[in-house]
Structure 1
Amino acid sequence: MSPDDIPTEITKLVYTCPLSASQGRSQNEVATLLAHYWPAIEQHIRQQVAGEILASGGHVVDGDTAWDSGRDREHAARIARGE
């Protein structure tokens, strides 16, 4: 994986990170490091989102709570996990 494989919004954060300069790394080195760890970061975020979806009780529609079926939540969680 290379920095080009990471969403642009994430890669842009590297160029605003003061940590890279303070640790003697170039922005390109930091971007390459991020690319190395990106699959694990993305999987972690996907698991968190899936957990939040499964834990949610419903959502507001027209000012009232609409309850999702468990099947709907499980399907949304699978999508969030990338399954």
Structure 2
Amino acid sequence: MNADSIPTDITALAYTAPGPKLSQNQAAELLAHYWPAIEQHIRAQVSAEILASPGHVVDGDTAWDSGRDREHAARTAAGS
């Protein structure tokens, strides 16, 4: 990932963040540097939430048909 691939509406958030003020380019470079770790963290959280969820009702039935379906969804969310 590079700074040019970070959307400007994301880097614009740097103007409202506490702490030292960054230019939009500086914010994009910073996000590009840390993005792999941020994405990995978010994917791990989503995966854990999927594994911990009891499922939800869809058309009167639980969305998780089996533990295998849940594990597949968790692996997909984790990016593996």
Normalised by the length of structure 2, the TM-score is 0.81
User: Do structure 1's residue 51 and structure 2's residue 48 form an aligned pair?
Assistant: yes
Question: 1:26-57, CA deviations, whole angstroms, 9 ceiling, x for partnerless residues?
Answer: 11001100100000000000000000000111
Q: Which residue among 12, 16, 19 is the counterpart of 2:17?
A: 19
Large movers: runs of 4+ above 6 Å: none
2:35 counterpart (30, 33, 38): 38
The sequence identity of aligned pairs, in percent, is: 59
Aligned residues: 78
TM-score, normalised on structure 1?
0.78
In the alignment, which residue of structure 2 is the partner of 1:82?
A: 79
3-state secondary structure, aligned to 1:19: coil
Q: Distance in 1 between matches of 2:25 and 2:70?
A: 40
Structure 1: stretches of 5+ with no match in the other structure: none
**Unpaired segments ≥5 residues, structure 2:** none
